[in-house]
Chains A and B, each alone.
Chain A
Amino acid sequence: MATEIGVPYLQGRGLSKSFGHVRALQAVDLDIYQHEILAIVGDNGAGKSTLTKILSGVHQPDEGELHVQGQPVRFSDSHKAREAGIATVFQNLALVDVRDVAQNLFLGREPTRMRFFVDRRKMLEDARKVIGDLRVNIPSMTVEVGQLSGGQRQSIAIGRATSQENRSIIIMDEPTAALGVKESRKVLDLILRLKESGIGIVVISHNMRHVFSVADRILVLRRGKLVGVRRKTETTPDEIVKMIVGAEIL
């Protein structure tokens, strides 16, 4: 397994973020490698989503630094993060329900002709290719995504991230939340396949079973602080749960 080989693609050092008096994140370090799945776990309010939003450029850290392939970077918005190869699948706010599959896949970066008109034919072709590569079952590229199942919608959100040029890291916020058992499994399979293709993946999840079925390393946050990082092969769900709730580790 190609874990922790070479330079981490994305590095965070001393990341801190406050919202008013709330210290959402305090001096968190993390390394994200390609070919690897890093799970971020923690209780509600532990700082998971703040951390993800910093990595994806939605929030800017008050203190601390981000490095991409060893170079210091500053993401002023999510667009900058995408340019640096970091794509994010946001929970709930990923898709435009009233638009079709193809537009959702290429939202914000539609192929154009004469830089003005959308190249609809190319967009549909590319959409079929993206969905085909993901090996998920979506019958039509022209159906409104509001009509699709939770798993299909999640696949489209992931497809949007994977089809991005130069994407090296994909961050997924609760990719299996609100999915049934079967659909969750499909999405987890998809995540594993993406890892095999060389992408580094950050998964935020509440579901310990899902975390243990895909993650290579598990990072635990508690009240905005880094509790620790464990290799999956060297830890147990019990230990992780204890780290999450802050119980004594004996």
Chain B
Amino acid sequence: MSASTEHGHDDMDAVEDVLTQALNEEIVAGTDRRETVWQRILASRDMALTAVGIGLFVFFAVTVPETFLTSTSLLNMVRNVSLIGIVAAGMAYLMIAGEIDLSVGSTLGILTIVLGVLVSRHGLNVWLAAGIVLALGAVIGAVNGLIVTRLGIPSFIVTLAMLTGYRSATLVLSEQRPWSGSGVGTFFDITGGTIAGRIPWVIVWMLVVMLLASIVLVRSRYGYHVYATGGNLEASRYSGVATGRVKLLAFAFTSFLCGLAAILLFGSLRVAEPSAGTGFEFRVIGAVIVGGVALTGGRGSVYGVFMGTIIIGMITSGLTLLGLSQHYADVATGILIVGVGAMDLLVRRAASRRLGFLDA
């Protein structure tokens, strides 16, 4: 820009104003139309998931009505994914905060074996042992969180190491054999038993965990900070959000829920297997991603994760009922994950294209 007089500046301003205004109006007109579409998709991700869930339900209800539409089958379907749902509630916190825990399967495994060994080999009171497992779960998560937040090592790497580490430790600790519990008493009733004659307690536990997790995430100050931390780490830190503590708590919460899942698994099977939880992390993270939690953090809901869990459960049960093997269910889940990931990318591409238009 060449040097100009004050008067020249005024003229230039006037021209620039007119141009800016025209551009702004164009942008407003352009984005208004698009944003309503995108806003709808983004805002109603939970609605879309609900629709997918209903769609799948109707599909299986029509194709295999006599086996799918029985209360036994439906209760089994939900029971089979209850432990996934419980841990997925914690994983939702973690992933919304921008972190991940790949070690939940191994954590579930070692906590189950610890419980089995304490009760079976050492004859410890099962309630006390359960309390120890919950506390140990929280400690395991806190260690993950401390390594990630204090040393700055990405959670992907830290928890990948823990995945193999805890599995090895499980094999050593278990002497590579199962440890069984007595299977009688209130502990086994409220973990592996049923309520009202037929509803498995694990379903009740999942619903309670998800309901509480949802309320805390949406309404509490901590929940607000989970979203903020994942949405913009630097801004949150500069605004006084204790981002390290937010993540640490999310790690501890997730592993604590692994402890709860271990208790419920032991209570249901009445035995602790060294292989417990193998591949569990895949299903949990799958449920969270299908449930609409953004891979980039900052977005998602526990309700969405609940729907993601149920959808995975329906696909697994439904395909089995259709006469296909369990392996097809994993393929279907995989396709679903890729599909959701692709949708996420498309939404973000569209958003950045829109921003590019604004910059122009």
Contact = CB atoms under 8 A, between A and B. Distances in A.
A28 to B, nearest CB: 22
A19 interface: no
A145 to B, nearest CB: 10
Tell me the interface secondary structure of chain B in the complex: helix
Contacts of A112: 221
Contacts of B225: 108
Contacts, number: 84
B236 A116 contact: no
A36 B173 CA distance: 69
A112 B221 CA distance: 7
A109 B231 contact: no
Contact of A181 (B16, B219, B236): B16
Contact of B240 (A82, A180, A209): A82
A58 B238 contact: yes
Given A180-B24, A182-B21, A110 B224 contact: yes
A5 to B, nearest CB: 30
B219 A107 contact: no
Contact of B20 (A98, A160, A181): A181
A186 B20 CA distance: 14
Interface string B231-247: 11011101111000000
B232 A97 contact: yes
Interface string A86-106: 001010011111110001000
Interface in A50-81: 58, 78-79
B20 A95 contact: no
A86 to B, nearest CB: 13
B220 A96 contact: no
A166 to B, nearest CB: 15
A96 B221 contact: no
B9 interface: yes
A96 B228 contact: yes
A82 to B, nearest CB: 7
A88 B299 CA distance: 27
A170 to B, nearest CB: 14
B228 A103 contact: yes
Contacts of B240: 78-79, 82, 107-109
B219 A117 contact: yes
A116 B224 CA distance: 11
A235 interface: no
A97 B21 contact: no
Contacts of A116: 220-222
A128 to B, nearest CB: 18
Contacts of B11: none
Interface string B207-230: 000000000000111111101100
B7 to A, nearest CB: 14
B26 interface: no
Nearest to A58: B238
Interface of A: 58, 78-79, 82, 88, 90, 93-99, 103, 107-110, 112, 116-118, 120, 147, 149, 160, 180-182, 209
Interface of B: 9, 13, 16-17, 20-21, 23-24, 35, 39, 219-225, 227-228, 231-232, 234-236, 238-241, 298-299
Which 7 A-B residue pairings sit nearest by Cβ, starting from the closest? A108-B240, A108-B239, A96-B231, A98-B298, A107-B239, A93-B234, A98-B231
